[in-house]
Amino acid sequence: MSKLYFKFGAMASSKTANALMTRFNYEEKGNRVWLIKPDLDNRDDYTDENGRRVTVVKSRIGLSAVADVVKRDEDILKRFRDLNEKAKIDVIICDECQFLTAEQVDEMKYIAEFCDTPVLCFGLRSDFQTKLFEGSKRLFEIADSVTEIKSVCRCGKKAIVNARISQNGEIITEGEQIEIGGNDKYESMCWGCFKRRIEEQEK
Q: Catalytic residue positions?
A: 96
* Residue 116 falls in which region: left (phi positive, over 0), alpha (psi -120 to 50) or beta: left
DSSP 115: S
The number of beta carbons lying within 10 Å of the beta carbon of residue 131 is 11
Q: Give CA 141 to chain center in angstroms.
A: 16
Query: Distance between CA 71 and CA 90 in Å, rounded?
Result: 22
| Residue 47: partners with Cβ closer than 8 Å, 6 or more residues away | 53, 54
Classify the C-alpha dihedral 53-81-18-175 as positive or negative: positive
